[in-house]
Amino acid sequence: MPTRDFGDGGPPLTIEFVLFVSVSFTLAYVLPFYFSPTTRPSPTLSRDSPAVIRTRVRLVGTCCAICAHTTTLILRHYCSHTFSSALRQMGLFPPPILGTLLPLVLTAILFLGPLFERGIVLGGLTTWLRGKELLRTLESWPGYRNFIAGPATEELLFRGTLVPLFLHSPLSTTQVVLLAPLPFGLAHVHHAYEFRLTHPTAPMVLVIAQSLFQFVYTTLFGWFAALVLVRTGSLWACVLCHAFANWMGLPRVWGRVGRKGDWVLVEEGGDGSAGSTGKVDEAVLTGGVEGEKVEERKERKEREEGKKGKWVKSEDQRAGIVWTVAYYALLVTGVVGFWKGLWVLTESESALATV
């Protein structure tokens, strides 16, 4: 494991400088969305529109390229790194194989319960194994944004370009892991404005609560991703974990698993009986915004999943109490397993620093 030895001169970057760069990079990532009428949020412009997604991806891609170049210049000019060692500090090259794959296994352990519900209870395992669903999802613009462009650009900017700068400041490694993800959480606060535009009748307390909740869980994931980058030296591990977390979404923490009468999105030719034909998609219509009609929730879910199909009422989702008990048991087991495996499955000889 490497140590952060700066020699007699001390850390080459000041905390103030690193914070200034962090704020600048975060604003550069978010503000361009509001400059153009083709990307600016409005009550009539959906963020899931292909034109909006294409333009936003181009903007954040350009932003990430500029920020990544800026970070390499800082590391080379102020921190005495070569171009190749700067890339290594950013977790880009060379990628450690185990250091990249094991954190993904760790993330899957955390989602044991949701994997059980979506794969076994709702019958999604067959389509997963065929790879059909993955290809179909990635062919859609929302799927491309949620599982490729979003994770890649966010991890490059908020982990790859910022964490190395924090590591060359006077902050301890633990402080770096805890503070570096804060811009990532703050960058999602602007979604409150988008939510307010599309749901003008929603109470302000709901808007604030949703924004705070999003800030909390994005910061929590940011802590995990920063730890993964520091301990594995692999930005690619962060991207894979981010994409997987986006695919899983937030886990169910209450309610009965696979309730009879749930709306389910069925592929063409499916009959709506989970586990019988292997045709039932795991996009179960759960959750939703207060006041949102069922048809609106269906349309929203289709946009989020990037797919179309026939919505039917399930007749038998195998909703016995055994399935629910098994889900929550696996949910707890996943959390415990994640915690116990956190240090083991993120250890790598390519680590950027000791934690």
The residues assigned a catalytic role are 154, 188
254 backbone φψ class: left, alpha, beta (φ>0; ψ -120 to 50):
beta
Assess contact for 277 and 325: CB atoms under 8 A. Answer: no
Burial of 274 (0-12, 13-18, 19+ CB in 10 A): buried
Q: Is 77 exposed, middle or buried (0-12, 13-18, 19+ CB in 10 A)?
A: exposed
Count of CB atoms situated within 10 Å of the CB of 213: 11
Half-sphere exposure of 299 (CA within 13 A, CB side): 8
Copy the structure tokens of residue 289: 């915004």
Taking Cα atoms as reference points, which of 292, 289, 290, 272 lies closest to residue 281? Answer: 272
Q: Supply φ then ψ for residue 297, to 5 degrees.
A: -70, -35
Q: Which ranges of the chain does DSSP label H, i.e. alpha helix?
A: 15-30, 50-78, 83-89, 97-110, 112-116, 125-130, 132-139, 141-144, 150-155, 163-167, 173-179, 182-186, 191-198, 204-232, 235-248, 294-305, 321-341
